[in-house]
Amino acid sequence: MSDANKAAIAAEKEALNLKLPPIVHLPENIGVDTPTQSKLLKYRRSKEQQQKINQLVIDGAKRNLDRTLDKRTPLLPPPDYPQTMTSEMKKKGFNYIYMKQCVESSPIVPIQQEWLDHMLRLIPESLKEGKEREELLESLINEVSSDFENSMRRYLVQSVLVKPPVKWLEDEGGPLPESPVGLDYSNPWHSSYVQARNQIFSNLHIIHPTMKMLLDLGYTTFADTVLLDFTGIRAKGPIDCESLKTDLSIQTRKAEEKIMNTWYPKVINLFTKKEALEGVKPEKLDAFYSCVSTLMSNQLKDLLRRTVEGFVKLFDPKDQQRLPIFKIELTFDDDKMEFYPTFQDLEDNVLSLVERIAEALQNVQTVPSWLSGTSTPVNLDTELPEHVLHWAVDTLKAAVHRNLEGARKHYETYVEKYNWLFDGTAVENIETFQTEDHTFDEYTKFIEKFFSLASEIMLLPQWIHYPMVRLDCEDLKTGLTNKAKAFANILLNDIASKYRKENE
């Protein structure tokens, strides 16, 4: 073995015999932060600078506030109120009001939607149809919700606060709602409900199916109609009041015959069927037919009432487009200027039409009277109430007087201008003129005055139109013209006779 190999082997052995240094164990608290370490780890220079900046801002704001307050005028000391104004009771009252406002401002749980839905389910569907009904239901729901919240708010105040005995707080709030009186649900009520329901059905005949059919028949027949057609009266032009009375009377009679030939047979047919009296006990038969008669009477009375109201509306001063136009003449007879027909005659004719309408449908037999075929028939009570007739008469009188004012004023202008021709003034002037000594020229001038007056009268308009009257003045014009010419002829004859005597 060479020396080199021996040296290498010796070096390896020496290396294997070397000892490693001992293992040093770390202390047990090396992973735990001490207070000093935590403080150093959490320290941030930026936070310290931010705190200094905030403090500088606060100090500057305080200095500015102090300068501003120094510039203001000092506040006056509080007034020395008497003890009666700052009494203990007053403090309690104001404190109660403040606490009450705080309690009332607290949120209130609204009424549950399930409760509202349950209330709506109790309402029949027929009462919910239509836009107006929907708006009404919505307003009722809002009212119920508002009442619920107000009640809860009031209950909350009265259950949380104790109102002090202060007189001026008596109107604050109010007593809690009391429980309904007379509603006792301690015992079953279904049997009593059924009994009451059956009693109602046996006595309230208006809910009988036949009554419903009678009501529907009357509604379809009379709902949108009246006895007379008032739409085309003004379109006919000027008419005599007697002609209008005759036309409307004929219309009334025809409408009455039509009702008795169409509606009344259908009514009788309803009660000739077997099921008409179904469910009606024999002892209740008179009451049932009495209900039938009342219902028929109400339907016919309503028809007559609406017809009277429609006739009254013809003379409504606010709507003159429907006014009838009456022919009236100004006449001259026996040295009198008069209206023909007179205003009183015109008013009487108009009012008589109300009476004619009220006389219609007064001989309609009751159903039991027709079914029994008695020799002395019993008629329905279809007479209009007195207050309806009084209202119609008073309204028509006022309307007729108002619409005749124009014709009356025109008559007064004739009286003012030409009344002297026939009241004796003209005769007196002529007699005075004749007794005096006048020249031919003076006679000519006086005669010309009457001829000019006659020409003036003839040039006046023949017809004067007013909303309700067409006034014909031709007869009056002719009479006044002839009167003026007659006076002129008297003077002509007088001057002619005088000159004949002078020539002889």
Concatenating the DSSP letter of every residue in 412-439 gives HHHHHHHGGGTSSHHHHHHHHHHHS---
pLDDT score at 304: 92
Task: Please classify residue 353 by burial: count the beta carbons closer than 10 Å to its beta carbon, then call 0-12 exposed, 13-18 middle and 19+ buried.
Answer: buried
Band (pLDDT 50/70/90 cuts) for residue 25 is low
What SS3 state is found at 312?
A: helix
Q: Percent of the chain beyond pLDDT 70?
A: 85
CB 141 within 8 A of CB 128: no
Residue 395 CA neighbour count, 13 Å, CB half: 17
- Closest by alpha carbon to 359, among 322, 329, 403, 389? 389
CB 324, CB 470: distance < 8 Å: no
Report whether pLDDT(439) > 80.
Answer: no
Question: How many Cβ atoms from other residues are within 10 Å of residue 393's Cβ?
Answer: 16
Cα distances (Å, whole numbers) of residue 240 to 231, 249, 252, 320, 338:
18, 14, 18, 18, 17
* pLDDT tens-digit map of 148-194: 988 888 888 888 887 777 776 655 555 555 655 666 656 677 788 88
Average pLDDT of the chain, as a whole number: 81
- From residue 334, give the alpha-carbon distance in Å to each of 411, 423, 480, 485: 17, 11, 11, 16
CB 227 within 8 A of CB 251: yes
Question: In which band, very low, low, confident or very high, does the pLDDT at 273 lie, cut at 50, 70 and 90?
Answer: confident
Coil, strand or helix at 385: coil
Is the model more confident about 201 or about 228?
228
Six-digit token string for 177: 């709602």
Place of tokens 């009554």: 211
**Residue for token pair 């339907």:** 299
Mean per-residue pLDDT for 233-261? 88
pTM of the model: 0.58
Span 203-209, average pLDDT: 79
Q: Does pLDDT of 195 surpass 70?
A: yes
Q: Containing H/E element for 117?
A: helix 113-121
Phi, psi of 461 (to 5 degrees): -65, 145
Model pLDDT, residue 182: 62
Distance CA 204, CA 193 (A): 16
CA distance 494 to 497: 5
Strand partners, 331: 338
pLDDT the model gives residue 477: 82
- On the question of pLDDT at 246 being above 70, the answer is yes
Average pLDDT, stretch 462-474?
A: 86
Residue 297: pLDDT band (50, 70, 90) is very high
List, for residues 380-433, the tens digit of each pLDDT value.
Answer: 888 999 999 999 999 999 989 888 888 888 888 888 888 877 777 877 877 777
In this prediction, residue 491 carries a pLDDT of 78
Q: Say how many C-beta atoms besides its own lie within 10 A of residue 413's C-beta.
A: 10
318-364 residue pLDDT tens: 888 888 888 888 888 887 888 888 888 889 988 999 999 898 888 88
- Whether residue 476 is predicted with pLDDT greater than 70 in this model: the reply is yes
- Residue with the bigger pLDDT between 55 and 317: it is 55
| Predicted pLDDT of residue 161 | 81
Residue 269: is its pLDDT beyond 80? Answer: yes
For tokens 């009220």, name the residue.
358
Task: List Cβ neighbours of 102 (8 Å cut-off, separation of 6 or more).
Answer: none
Q: Read off the pLDDT band of 289 (50, 70, 90).
A: confident
pLDDT score of 73: 66
* Angstrom distance (rounded) from CA 473 to CA 462: 5
For residues 357-382, give the mean pLDDT. Answer: 85
Residue 408 CB partners (closer than 8 Å, separation 6+): 343
* Exposed e or buried b per residue across 126-140, where buried means at least 16 C-beta atoms within 10 angstroms of its C-beta: eeeeeeeeeeeeeee
Name the least confident of 137-141, 314-318, 355-359. 314-318
Q: Quick one: DSSP state of residue 180?
A: P
Task: In whole angstroms, give the CA distance from residue 213 to residue 276.
Answer: 10
pLDDT of residue 395: 92
Determine the Cα–Cα distance for residues 342 and 241; give it in Å rounded to an integer: 11
Structural contact between residues 326 and 314, judged by C-beta atoms closer than 8 angstroms? no
pLDDT of residue 172: 56
User: CA 425 to CA 433: how far, in whole Å?
Assistant: 12
